[in-house]
Amino acid sequence: MRYPLSIACFLIAFAGFGQNSDLPSDFLNKGFHKERRQKLRETLPPNSVAVLFANPVRNRANDVDFVYHQDPDFYYLTGYKEPDAVLFVFKEKQTAANKSSYDEILFVQPRNELREMWTGRRLGDAGVKDVLGFEQAFNNTEFKRYNIDFEKFDKILFFDFKNDVRDNPRDSSDLYDLISQFKMKVKYPEKSSLTLTPEPQKQNLDVKGLAEAMASLRGIKTKEEIEMIKRAVQISCVGQVEVMKAMKPGMSEREIQGIHEFVFKKYQAEDLGYPSIVGAGHNGCILHYIDNYKPNITSKELILMDLGAEFHGYSADITRTIPVNGKFSQEQKQIYELVLKAQEEAMKICKPGTPRQQLTIVCREVINKGLFELGILKSETEKHMYFPHGVCHHIGLDVHDRGGPNLEENNTVTIEPGIYIPDNSPCDKKWWGIAVRIEDDYLLTKDGYEHLSTFAPRTVKDIEAMMKMPSALDGFTLPDLEKKN
Ligand code: GLY
Ligand code: MN
Ligand code: MN
């Protein structure tokens, strides 16, 4: 798009556009990100450099892009939330042409008054120095000319390139260009795939080691991160509680989703950790059901609600399953209590040293035994058919966060058993359409865990009691829309 000169002149008046006094001041501070870069540096092999790129901007349709979300590794190490950037973390100090020394550099998108008026404020190189505390920060337009002797490194660690990076022909230093320039600088062997060959043809390029290093860092949460995760969890629990109070037959899945997400926004959660899952009746049997389109949920159904607020980058992941009419039927209660028992058994071994996989094994034992006793499972070959997923993953900047296979102090994880009995399953039809998942979030302590999501009721008794409480939405109505014909 072209802009008339008069608009361009007018925009020059917005010299202070990059400053934003409306921003919340409780994000992770620059000291956190700097310390995380230092920790990464400590894990790097001698004579190496780690290189991380910002996430691409993804297109939604035509000239509308998806809301930009930074790559979590990049955010963790920089605090930078804008696109078209690249970070270098050097193991050893490097010497610049002017003899100054440095061990990290960030290249970012430049300030641009015109673009900022359309798409939002940018920090630019000066802002990155000031706000994020980088000593060496440059506009990405400098990257092409910036001289780094990559041949001298024994290892250049980076993630293999994403395959959905688009070139903006009007921008010669966008992510696509930064990657192309980087490939030229390191003599990336374009014709062979680094991921398909066991050894990269160029010996100092390493596309594997960085994932391991980031997992060992990000799996162990710092005090500041734990505060963020606790906030995301609390917010998500309030959403579950408000829905329990507001739930009525005849509501739509979309409306329930909206109540949760309104609560998230009310508490200033910027985003969702993942698309919200709100499935009534047999829709709950679809593990990642995100259509949420059933218009009228009926009195006798259960509704499975798996939602997590993302607060300042950190996600909760909580599931509650409740009866639409406020009271579990006998069959619903039997299934619910079996899932709850599996979760309670897994909680007993939730402590440092336990392999995460072990929690799934324990839940499977409880659920298989219970389903045999109820006559729902009839043979060994049917085992796991109603419970096809694992129960424990890390949460953090990603809802399925990086982290190790064994539980460690200061991990934040889920325990989420479930039973899903689709219509036409080979069991008595009184069980059909029952889907239950119970998912809670935990912080691993020295010898056990802190259960973070207790604010959202979890037992049959507590859920039924909460559903009797008055709701702020009682009597809330909106006008009918005009009907055509
Ligand atoms: N909400 C996705 C999951 O529970 O893993
Ligand atoms: Mn989960
Ligand atoms: Mn979940």
Instruction: Give the DSSP letter string of 298-325.
Output: -TT-EEEEEE-EEETTEE--EEEEEETT
- Asked whether residue 479 is domain-assigned, the answer is no
**How far is the centre of ligand 3, averaged over its atoms, from the C-alpha of 82 (Å)?**
28
Q: Confidence class of residue 456 from pLDDT cuts 50, 70 and 90?
A: very high
234 CB-near residues (< 8 Å, 6+ apart): 267, 455
Give the pLDDT confidence score for residue 478 in this predicted structure. 95
Same domain, 185 and 52: yes
3-class SS at 53? Answer: strand
Give the pLDDT confidence score for residue 12 in this predicted structure. 40
- Asked whether residue 5 is domain-assigned, the answer is no
Average pLDDT over residues 171-175: 96
Same domain, 182 and 256: no
Q: What's the CA gap between 279 and 294, in Å, rounded?
A: 8
Closest atom of ligand 1 to CA, residue 437: 4
Same domain, 209 and 231: no
Question: Which segment, 13-17, 22-26, 402-406, is predicted with the most confidence on average?
Answer: 402-406
Average pLDDT over residues 438-450: 99
Same domain, 204 and 317: no
Give the pLDDT confidence score for residue 462 in this predicted structure. 99
**How far is the centre of ligand 1, averaged over its atoms, from the C-alpha of 387 (Å)?**
14
Average pLDDT over residues 117-123: 95
Element (H, E) at 51: strand 48-53
Nearest to 129 by CA among 9, 218, 30: 30
Q: Which two tokens stand for residue 442?
A: 């935990």
Closest atom of ligand 1 to CA, residue 308: 1
Q: Confidence class of residue 14 from pLDDT cuts 50, 70 and 90?
A: very low
Q: What's the CA gap between 458 and 183, in Å, rounded?
A: 52
Q: Going by CA atoms, what residue is nearest to atom 3 of ligand 1?
A: 317
How does the average pLDDT of the chain come out, rounded?
94
Check if 317 has its Cβ closer than 6 Å to any atom of ligand 1: yes
Same domain, 163 and 298: no
Domain termination site, one of 185, 216, 247: 216
- Asked whether residue 453 is domain-assigned, the answer is yes
**How far is the centre of ligand 1, averaged over its atoms, from the C-alpha of 316 (Å)?**
10
The share of the chain scoring above pLDDT 90, in percent, equals: 89
Q: Confidence class of residue 96 from pLDDT cuts 50, 70 and 90?
A: confident
Q: Which amino acid is at 345?
A: E
pLDDT in tens, 334-365: 999 999 999 999 999 999 999 999 999 999 99
Same domain, 147 and 201: yes
Burial label, 343 (beta-carbon count in 10 A; 0-12, 13-18, 19+): buried
Q: Going by CA atoms, what residue is nearest to atom 5 of ligand 1?
A: 400
pLDDT in tens, 248-275: 999 999 999 999 999 999 999 999 999 9
Lowest mean pLDDT among 19-23, 119-123, 188-192, 406-410: 19-23
Check if 416 has its Cβ closer than 6 Å to any atom of ligand 1: yes
Check if 439 has its Cβ closer than 6 Å to any atom of ligand 1: yes
The share of the chain scoring above pLDDT 70, in percent, equals: 93
pTM of the predicted structure, to 2 decimals: 0.94
Closest ligand (CA of 414): 2
Q: What's the CA gap between 468 and 327, in Å, rounded?
A: 10
Same domain, 146 and 230: no
pLDDT in tens, 315-341: 999 999 999 999 999 999 999 999 999
User: Which of 412, 416, 420 to mutate to test ligand 1, by most ligand atoms within 8 A of the CB atom?
Assistant: 416
Q: Dihedral sign for Cα 358, 364, 365, 367, please.
A: positive
Check if 306 has its Cβ closer than 6 Å to any atom of ligand 1: yes
Check if 441 has its Cβ closer than 6 Å to any atom of ligand 1: no
- Asked whether residue 477 is domain-assigned, the answer is no
Q: What's the CA gap between 404 and 17, in Å, rounded?
A: 42
Closest atom of ligand 1 to CA, residue 389: 5
Closest ligand (CA of 441): 2
Give the pLDDT confidence score for residue 193 in this predicted structure. 52
Same domain, 207 and 262: no
User: Which of 439, 440, 453 to mutate to test ligand 1, by most ligand atoms within 8 A of the CB atom?
Assistant: 439
User: Which of 319, 387, 391 to mutate to test ligand 1, by most ligand atoms within 8 A of the CB atom?
Assistant: 319
Give the pLDDT confidence score for residue 190 in this predicted structure. 76
Q: What's the CA gap between 256 and 254, in Å, rounded?
A: 5
CATH number of the domain to which 358 belongs: 3.90.230.10
- Asked whether residue 474 is domain-assigned, the answer is no
Q: Confidence class of residue 173 from pLDDT cuts 50, 70 and 90?
A: very high
pLDDT in tens, 402-413: 999 999 999 999
- Domain holding 322, by residue range, is 223-466
CATH number of the domain to which 191 belongs: 3.40.350.10
Check residues 201 and 121 and name the one with the higher pLDDT: 121
Same domain, 237 and 368: yes
Give the pLDDT confidence score for residue 17 in this predicted structure. 46
- Asked whether residue 171 is domain-assigned, the answer is yes
φ, ψ of residue 403 to 5 degrees: the values are 170, 170
User: Which of 272, 274, 356 to mutate to test ligand 1, by most ligand atoms within 8 A of the CB atom?
Assistant: 274
pLDDT for residue 387 is more than 70 = yes
How many structural domains does the chain have? Answer: 2
Average pLDDT over residues 302-322: 98
Check if 440 has its Cβ closer than 6 Å to any atom of ligand 1: no
Same domain, 195 and 245: no
pLDDT for residue 155 is more than 80 = yes
Same domain, 295 and 190: no
Check if 73 has its Cβ closer than 6 Å to any atom of ligand 1: no
- Asked whether residue 361 is domain-assigned, the answer is yes
Give the pLDDT confidence score for residue 5 in this predicted structure. 41
Q: Going by CA atoms, what residue is nearest to atom 4 of ligand 1?
A: 317
Question: Which segment, 99-103, 108-112, 191-195, is predicted with the most confidence on average?
Answer: 108-112
Average pLDDT over residues 17-41: 86
Same domain, 273 and 298: yes
b/e map of 385-421 (b: 16 or more CB within 10 Å)?
bbbeebbbbbbbbbbebbbeeebbbbbbbbbbbbbbb
